[in-house]
């Protein structure tokens, strides 16, 4: 039977309950997205939160998120983004631990921390890369999903590509010849599809606000909040798609 997993990314929750970011209410949008996902993916096995869970690293924002996650029908795991404080996340977000590796039936899920303290761009440290390489080598036939916050392929938006994963070629080297099937990321607040060698790579829209594709400078887009679903087959094949959740969904 296929395994469904969900990806929610770039929540950008503010510290205050009614706080607004980019003129919208990220908490209300997240609630709308989660309500949609609950209706359509009740049997999903896992929800991945791929960074920028909060807009500013304030424990109140993580605590509010944690309370919201308590009601969900899926276990959650998280990776940090450049807006997060990994230490604060670890201390507050008990409902979405920052587990490094998970097994879901025949699949393996590898969660990477691509954040660099004080910087918007991302980088995978030598220890993180070595850990991933070791895990992929240990089970050379187990199909794998790799998740991180930062994009490892340029999206064609210069202001975003200036803050992408700096050492994307190191990730490509580790993935080459492995059983990794897909890479999932956030950070760019827009949908994206590409390939890292033979591995499919997907960018996922934000649950809060999208950024305008191919814009040379920061600009928002009015597509509304979104999330990704992935259906993993036992034999290593998969399908994936997105839902945007407009106001009246
Ligand atoms: Fe973000």
Question: Which domains, from first to last, does the chain contain?
Answer: 3-244 (3.60.21.10)
For residue 173 the two structure tokens come to 């080297």
| Total Cβ atoms within 10 A of residue 129 | 17
C-alpha distances (whole Å) from 178 to each of 110, 124, 141, 246 are 13, 18, 8, 38
Q: Is the Cα dihedral 186, 188, 192, 194 positive or negative? A: negative
Residue ranges near ligand 1 (ion) with Cβ within 5 Å? 10, 52
What is the rounded distance in angstroms from the CA atom of residue 183 to the CA atom of residue 164? Answer: 14
Please state, in angstroms and rounded to a whole number, the distance separating the CA atoms of residues 221 and 232: 30
Span from the CA of 129 to the centroid of ligand 1 (angstroms): 23
How much distance in Å is there from the Cα of 26 to the middle of ligand 1? 12
**Cα 10 to middle of ligand 1, angstroms:** 4
Write down the pTM of the prediction. Answer: 0.97
Burial of 185 (0-12, 13-18, 19+ CB in 10 A): buried
Give the rounded distance of the alpha carbon of 183 from its chain centre: 10
How far is Cα 44 from Cα 230, in angstroms, rounded to an integer? 9
Q: Please write the tens of the pLDDT for every residue from 145-159.
A: 999 999 999 999 999
CA–centroid distance, 183 to ligand 1, in Å, is 17
Tell me: the pLDDT tens digits for 109-123?
Answer: 999 999 999 999 999
Residue 18, pLDDT score: 84
Contact 59, 92 (CB under 8 A): yes
Specify the pLDDT at position 248: 58
pLDDT at residue 1 in the model: 83
What spacing in Å lies between the alpha carbon of 148 and ligand 1's midpoint? 12
Low-confidence ranges of the chain (pLDDT < 70): 248-249
């Amino acid at each position: 039977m296929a395994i469904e997993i969900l990806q929610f990314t770039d929540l950008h929750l503010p510290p205050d309950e009614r706080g607004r970011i980019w003129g919208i209410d990220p908490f209300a949008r997240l609630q709308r997205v989660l309500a949609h996902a609950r209706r359509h993916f009740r049997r999903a096995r896992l929800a991945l939160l791929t960074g920028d869970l909060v807009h500013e690293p304030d424990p109140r924002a993580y605590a509010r998120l944690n309370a919201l996650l308590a009601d969900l029908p899926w276990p959650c795991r998280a990776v940090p983004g450049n807006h997060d404080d990994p230490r604060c996340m670890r201390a507050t977000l008990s409902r979405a631990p920052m587990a490094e590796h998970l097994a879901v039936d025949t699949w393996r899920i590898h969660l990477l921390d691509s954040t660099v303290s004080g910087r918007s761009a991302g980088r995978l440290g030598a220890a993180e890369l070595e850990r991933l390489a070791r895990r992929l080598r240990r089970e050379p036939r187990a199909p794998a999903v790799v998740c991180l916050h930062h994009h490892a392929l340029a999206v064609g938006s210069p202001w975003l590509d200036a803050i992408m994963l700096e050492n994307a070629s190191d990730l490509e080297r580790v993935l080459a010849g492995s059983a990794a099937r897909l890479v999932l990321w956030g950070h760019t607040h827009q949908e994206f599809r590409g390939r890292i060698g033979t591995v499919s790579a997907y960018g996922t829209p934000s649950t809060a606000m999208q950024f305008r594709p191919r814009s040379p400078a920061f600009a928002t887009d009015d597509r509304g909040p979104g999330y990704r679903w992935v259906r993993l087959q036992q034999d290593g094949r998969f399908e994936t798609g997105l839902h945007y959740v407009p106001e009246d969904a």
